[in-house]
Structure 1
Protein backbone atom coordinates (compact mmCIF):
# COMPACT_ATOMS: atom_id res chain seq x y z
CA UNK A 1 0.00 0.00 0.00
CA UNK A 2 1.32 3.39 -1.03
CA UNK A 3 1.26 5.83 1.90
CA UNK A 4 2.32 9.07 0.17
CA UNK A 5 0.06 12.09 0.24
CA UNK A 6 -1.00 14.15 -2.73
CA UNK A 7 0.42 17.33 -1.17
CA UNK A 8 3.88 15.79 -1.09
CA UNK A 9 3.74 14.97 -4.78
CA UNK A 10 2.57 18.43 -5.85
CA UNK A 11 5.04 21.17 -4.92
CA UNK A 12 3.93 24.67 -3.99
CA UNK A 13 5.26 26.24 -7.20
CA UNK A 14 3.20 23.83 -9.29
CA UNK A 15 0.14 24.74 -7.23
CA UNK A 16 0.82 28.42 -7.91
CA UNK A 17 1.09 27.81 -11.67
CA UNK A 18 -2.10 25.75 -11.68
CA UNK A 19 -4.00 28.54 -9.93
CA UNK A 20 -2.53 31.09 -12.38
CA UNK A 21 -3.56 28.94 -15.36
CA UNK A 22 -7.10 28.55 -14.02
CA UNK A 23 -7.33 32.31 -13.44
CA UNK A 24 -6.13 33.05 -16.98
CA UNK A 25 -8.62 30.57 -18.48
CA UNK A 26 -11.50 32.14 -16.55
CA UNK A 27 -10.30 35.58 -17.67
CA UNK A 28 -10.08 34.36 -21.27
CA UNK A 29 -13.60 32.91 -21.18
CA UNK A 30 -14.90 36.19 -19.74
CA UNK A 31 -13.18 38.15 -22.54
CA UNK A 32 -14.54 35.79 -25.19
CA UNK A 33 -18.09 36.15 -23.86
CA UNK A 34 -17.68 39.94 -23.65
CA UNK A 35 -16.55 40.15 -27.28
CA UNK A 36 -19.41 37.94 -28.49
CA UNK A 37 -21.84 40.03 -26.43
CA UNK A 38 -20.51 43.21 -28.05
CA UNK A 39 -20.76 41.68 -31.54
CA UNK A 40 -24.40 40.74 -31.15
CA UNK A 41 -25.50 43.95 -29.40
CA UNK A 42 -23.85 46.31 -31.88
CA UNK A 43 -26.56 47.84 -34.07
CA UNK A 44 -24.07 49.25 -36.56
CA UNK A 45 -23.00 45.78 -37.72
CA UNK A 46 -25.08 43.96 -40.27
CA UNK A 47 -25.98 40.28 -40.06
CA UNK A 48 -23.12 39.17 -42.31
CA UNK A 49 -20.53 41.11 -40.32
CA UNK A 50 -21.88 39.71 -37.06
CA UNK A 51 -21.70 36.18 -38.46
CA UNK A 52 -18.16 36.73 -39.74
CA UNK A 53 -16.95 38.08 -36.38
CA UNK A 54 -18.69 35.27 -34.49
CA UNK A 55 -17.17 32.60 -36.75
CA UNK A 56 -13.75 34.22 -36.53
CA UNK A 57 -13.88 34.47 -32.75
CA UNK A 58 -15.14 30.90 -32.29
CA UNK A 59 -12.93 29.14 -34.87
CA UNK A 60 -9.69 30.96 -34.10
CA UNK A 61 -10.43 32.29 -30.63
CA UNK A 62 -7.11 33.81 -29.56
CA UNK A 63 -6.36 35.53 -32.84
CA UNK A 64 -10.02 36.41 -33.49
CA UNK A 65 -10.48 38.10 -30.12
CA UNK A 66 -7.18 39.98 -30.40
CA UNK A 67 -8.08 41.23 -33.89
CA UNK A 68 -11.53 42.25 -32.66
CA UNK A 69 -10.05 44.15 -29.71
CA UNK A 70 -7.60 45.95 -31.99
CA UNK A 71 -10.17 46.77 -34.66
CA UNK A 72 -13.21 47.59 -32.51
CA UNK A 73 -11.94 47.78 -28.91
CA UNK A 74 -12.41 51.52 -28.47
CA UNK A 75 -16.01 51.29 -29.62
CA UNK A 76 -16.75 48.53 -27.08
CA UNK A 77 -16.48 50.95 -24.19
CA UNK A 78 -18.48 53.64 -25.98
CA UNK A 79 -21.27 51.20 -26.88
CA UNK A 80 -21.31 49.87 -23.33
CA UNK A 81 -21.57 53.39 -21.91
CA UNK A 82 -24.33 54.31 -24.36
CA UNK A 83 -26.30 51.16 -23.44
CA UNK A 84 -25.91 51.89 -19.72
CA UNK A 85 -27.11 55.47 -20.20
CA UNK A 86 -30.10 54.23 -22.21
CA UNK A 87 -30.98 51.71 -19.47
CA UNK A 88 -30.74 54.47 -16.84
CA UNK A 89 -32.97 56.77 -18.90
CA UNK A 90 -35.51 53.97 -19.41
CA UNK A 91 -35.47 53.26 -15.68
CA UNK A 92 -36.01 56.93 -14.81
CA UNK A 93 -38.96 57.12 -17.24
CA UNK A 94 -40.42 53.98 -15.71
CA UNK A 95 -40.12 55.42 -12.19
CA UNK A 96 -41.74 58.70 -13.28
CA UNK A 97 -44.59 56.82 -14.96
CA UNK A 98 -45.06 54.52 -11.97
CA UNK A 99 -45.05 57.44 -9.53
CA UNK A 100 -47.52 59.36 -11.69
CA UNK A 101 -49.98 56.50 -12.04
CA UNK A 102 -50.65 55.73 -8.40
CA UNK A 103 -54.07 54.79 -7.14
CA UNK A 104 -56.54 57.59 -6.42
CA UNK A 105 -55.23 61.13 -6.36
CA UNK A 106 -51.73 60.15 -5.21
CA UNK A 107 -50.36 60.28 -8.76
CA UNK A 108 -51.87 63.73 -9.30
CA UNK A 109 -50.43 64.97 -6.01
CA UNK A 110 -46.96 63.75 -6.93
CA UNK A 111 -47.15 65.48 -10.32
CA UNK A 112 -48.39 68.71 -8.79
CA UNK A 113 -45.67 68.71 -6.14
CA UNK A 114 -43.03 68.03 -8.78
CA UNK A 115 -44.32 70.94 -10.86
CA UNK A 116 -44.35 73.22 -7.84
CA UNK A 117 -40.80 72.25 -6.95
CA UNK A 118 -39.73 72.98 -10.53
CA UNK A 119 -41.40 76.40 -10.43
CA UNK A 120 -39.67 77.20 -7.14
CA UNK A 121 -36.32 75.98 -8.43
CA UNK A 122 -36.66 78.17 -11.55
CA UNK A 123 -37.57 81.17 -9.41
CA UNK A 124 -41.06 81.52 -10.90
CA UNK A 125 -42.66 81.38 -7.44
CA UNK A 126 -41.34 82.40 -4.05
CA UNK A 127 -40.77 80.06 -1.13
CA UNK A 128 -43.89 81.39 0.59
CA UNK A 129 -46.04 80.76 -2.50
CA UNK A 130 -44.54 77.30 -2.80
CA UNK A 131 -45.41 76.44 0.82
CA UNK A 132 -49.01 77.68 0.40
CA UNK A 133 -49.52 75.75 -2.83
CA UNK A 134 -47.94 72.66 -1.30
CA UNK A 135 -50.31 72.86 1.68
CA UNK A 136 -53.29 73.12 -0.71
CA UNK A 137 -52.13 70.06 -2.68
CA UNK A 138 -51.57 67.98 0.43
CA UNK A 139 -54.84 69.07 2.10
Structure 2
Protein backbone atom coordinates (compact mmCIF):
# COMPACT_ATOMS: atom_id res chain seq x y z
CA UNK A 1 0.00 0.00 0.00
CA UNK A 2 1.50 3.33 -1.04
CA UNK A 3 1.62 6.51 0.98
CA UNK A 4 -0.96 8.26 -1.22
CA UNK A 5 -3.41 5.39 -1.00
CA UNK A 6 -3.15 5.48 2.76
CA UNK A 7 -3.48 9.28 2.73
CA UNK A 8 -6.66 9.29 0.61
CA UNK A 9 -8.16 6.42 2.59
CA UNK A 10 -7.54 8.34 5.83
CA UNK A 11 -9.09 11.45 4.33
CA UNK A 12 -12.14 9.46 3.21
CA UNK A 13 -12.55 7.99 6.67
CA UNK A 14 -12.24 11.45 8.25
CA UNK A 15 -14.92 12.93 5.97
CA UNK A 16 -17.21 9.95 6.48
CA UNK A 17 -16.86 10.20 10.28
CA UNK A 18 -17.57 13.95 10.15
CA UNK A 19 -20.63 13.29 8.01
CA UNK A 20 -21.90 10.62 10.40
CA UNK A 21 -21.47 12.98 13.34
CA UNK A 22 -23.46 15.64 11.48
CA UNK A 23 -26.24 13.18 10.61
CA UNK A 24 -26.52 11.91 14.18
CA UNK A 25 -26.55 15.49 15.48
CA UNK A 26 -29.33 16.33 13.02
CA UNK A 27 -31.32 13.26 14.10
CA UNK A 28 -30.82 14.14 17.76
CA UNK A 29 -31.96 17.70 17.04
CA UNK A 30 -34.99 16.49 15.12
CA UNK A 31 -36.20 14.30 17.96
CA UNK A 32 -35.48 16.89 20.64
CA UNK A 33 -37.48 19.61 18.86
CA UNK A 34 -40.96 19.49 20.36
CA UNK A 35 -42.30 22.25 18.11
CA UNK A 36 -41.78 20.29 14.88
CA UNK A 37 -44.67 18.13 13.69
CA UNK A 38 -44.10 14.37 13.42
CA UNK A 39 -44.76 14.41 9.67
CA UNK A 40 -42.01 17.00 9.17
CA UNK A 41 -39.65 14.87 11.22
CA UNK A 42 -40.47 11.85 9.07
CA UNK A 43 -39.97 13.87 5.89
CA UNK A 44 -36.54 15.11 7.07
CA UNK A 45 -35.53 11.53 7.90
CA UNK A 46 -36.69 10.22 4.51
CA UNK A 47 -34.66 12.90 2.76
CA UNK A 48 -31.67 12.12 5.00
CA UNK A 49 -31.85 8.50 3.86
CA UNK A 50 -32.29 9.12 0.11
CA UNK A 51 -30.41 12.42 -0.46
CA UNK A 52 -28.15 12.51 2.60
CA UNK A 53 -25.46 15.10 1.86
CA UNK A 54 -27.76 17.70 0.32
CA UNK A 55 -30.38 17.20 3.04
CA UNK A 56 -27.79 17.66 5.78
CA UNK A 57 -26.63 20.93 4.20
CA UNK A 58 -30.20 22.19 3.73
CA UNK A 59 -31.11 21.22 7.31
CA UNK A 60 -28.15 23.11 8.74
CA UNK A 61 -28.93 26.19 6.64
CA UNK A 62 -32.69 26.17 7.29
CA UNK A 63 -32.75 25.10 10.94
CA UNK A 64 -29.25 26.05 12.10
CA UNK A 65 -30.32 28.92 14.37
CA UNK A 66 -32.92 26.74 16.04
CA UNK A 67 -30.34 23.98 16.48
CA UNK A 68 -28.06 26.38 18.34
CA UNK A 69 -30.88 27.64 20.56
CA UNK A 70 -32.01 24.12 21.45
CA UNK A 71 -28.42 23.11 22.21
CA UNK A 72 -28.03 26.12 24.51
CA UNK A 73 -31.29 25.25 26.25
CA UNK A 74 -30.17 21.63 26.76
CA UNK A 75 -26.92 22.87 28.33
CA UNK A 76 -28.89 25.18 30.62
CA UNK A 77 -27.63 28.42 29.07
CA UNK A 78 -30.37 31.02 28.89
CA UNK A 79 -30.35 33.96 26.50
CA UNK A 80 -28.49 36.97 27.79
CA UNK A 81 -30.36 39.10 30.26
CA UNK A 82 -29.25 42.71 30.33
CA UNK A 83 -30.66 43.36 33.80
CA UNK A 84 -27.35 42.46 35.47
CA UNK A 85 -25.34 44.92 33.40
CA UNK A 86 -24.22 48.09 35.16
CA UNK A 87 -26.17 51.22 34.29
CA UNK A 88 -25.17 54.86 34.49
CA UNK A 89 -26.03 56.39 37.82
CA UNK A 90 -29.30 58.27 38.23
CA UNK A 91 -27.38 61.02 40.04
CA UNK A 92 -23.73 60.90 38.93
CA UNK A 93 -22.78 64.16 40.65
CA UNK A 94 -23.67 62.85 44.12
CA UNK A 95 -21.94 59.50 43.45
CA UNK A 96 -18.78 61.29 42.36
CA UNK A 97 -18.98 63.62 45.38
CA UNK A 98 -19.31 60.63 47.73
CA UNK A 99 -16.36 58.94 46.02
CA UNK A 100 -14.33 62.14 46.33
CA UNK A 101 -15.11 62.27 50.06
CA UNK A 102 -13.96 58.66 50.44
CA UNK A 103 -10.81 59.46 48.47
CA UNK A 104 -10.08 62.47 50.70
CA UNK A 105 -10.54 60.28 53.80
CA UNK A 106 -8.13 57.73 52.33
CA UNK A 107 -10.77 54.97 52.29
CA UNK A 108 -10.30 54.33 48.57
CA UNK A 109 -7.39 54.71 46.17
CA UNK A 110 -7.18 57.02 43.16
CA UNK A 111 -7.82 54.05 40.83
CA UNK A 112 -10.95 53.08 42.75
CA UNK A 113 -12.13 56.68 42.59
CA UNK A 114 -11.62 56.72 38.80
CA UNK A 115 -13.55 53.44 38.48
CA UNK A 116 -16.46 54.79 40.54
CA UNK A 117 -16.47 58.02 38.54
CA UNK A 118 -16.40 56.12 35.26
CA UNK A 119 -19.24 53.84 36.38
CA UNK A 120 -21.32 56.80 37.53
CA UNK A 121 -20.91 58.52 34.18
CA UNK A 122 -21.05 55.64 31.70
CA UNK A 123 -22.28 52.56 33.56
CA UNK A 124 -19.05 50.69 32.70
CA UNK A 125 -16.01 49.98 34.80
Query: Which of the five TM-score ranges fits, normalised by the shorter chain?
Result: 0.5 to 0.7
User: How many Å separate the matches in 2 of 1:65 and 1:46?
Assistant: 19
Matched, 1:15 2:6: yes
Query: Matched residue pairs, number?
Result: 77
Matched, 1:67 2:27: no
**Which 5+ residue runs of structure 1 have no aligned equivalent?**
1-9, 87-139
Q: How does 1:31-46 map to 2 (within 5 A)?
A: 31-46=22-37
**What is the alpha-carbon distance in structure 2 between the residues aligned to residue 11 and residue 51 of structure 1?**
44
1:1-139 pair list within 5 angstroms? 10-85=1-76
How far off is 1:74 after superposition? 1.7
Larger fraction in helix: 1
Calculate the aligned-residue CA RMSD, in Å.
1.3
4+ residue stretches of structure 1 with deviation over 2 A? none
Deviations 1:12-42 (A, max 9, x none): 1211111111111111111111101101110
Q: Taking structure 2 as the reference length, what is the TM-score of the superposition?
A: 0.58
Distance 1:32 1:69 in 2: 10
Query: Could you state the TM-score of these two structures normalised by the residue count of structure 1?
Result: 0.53
Shift of 1:45: 0.2
Higher relative contact order (CA 8 A, sep 6+): 2
* Cα distance between partner residues in 1 of 2:46 and 2:29: 14
Structure-2 residue corresponding to 1:110? none
